[in-house]
Amino acid sequence: MAGDQSSAWQPFRDLDLSAWSQLVSIRDRGRLSLPPAVRQRLPWLDEPGDCLAILRGDRSVELVDWKGHGERVVASVSERYRHLPEGERSRFALAVMDRFARLTREKSGRLTLPGVLIAQLDRSKRNAVRVVVWDKGLFLWDDGVWEDTKAERLRLLEEEGLI
């Protein structure tokens, strides 16, 4: 259920504190509340602030803390832009705008997703997004894409003789 923020349904919620997956509703005006299980795994989400959304080629979006990481990405991209020939700058700028977005994170873990992210993450128009913590990173996925790759993950359990 997309609206369920509790982790009580997951019997392995404490198995690996660097991993979590949960379907979460996108509410009015693109609001998304990160579940408590996600916030517990990523200490940088404890405080309000900004984060950088990085649209990835696998149709996921990685969210990183603005302080430090996001600021470094923006400085690096801006420096690269300054060294481009004049005729390549507009095309580069559009590519950068397609790849990055800045989001404001509230203390409650609520984010407001801009339209460009909603378009990437909710292609099925279900008003929900898959929130994934993986190796201490935070990712948002279109749930249909996430489900399409589930067989690969389940194959790991088959190899271990668990299913």
Tell me: the pLDDT tens digits for 55-112? 998 889 999 999 989 999 999 999 999 999 999 999 999 999 999 999 999 888 899 9
pLDDT tens track for 100-116 = 999 999 888 899 999 88
How confident is the model at residue 1, as a pLDDT?
42
Among candidate residues 54, 3, 53, the one with its CA nearest the CA of residue 24: 3
pTM: 0.86
- Tell me the domains of the chain and their CATH numbers: 21-159 (3.40.1550.20)
Question: Which residue would you say has higher pLDDT here, 142 or 123?
Answer: 142
Strand pairing category for 110-112 and 31-33:
antiparallel
How confident is the model at residue 6, as a pLDDT?
61
The DSSP code for 123 is T
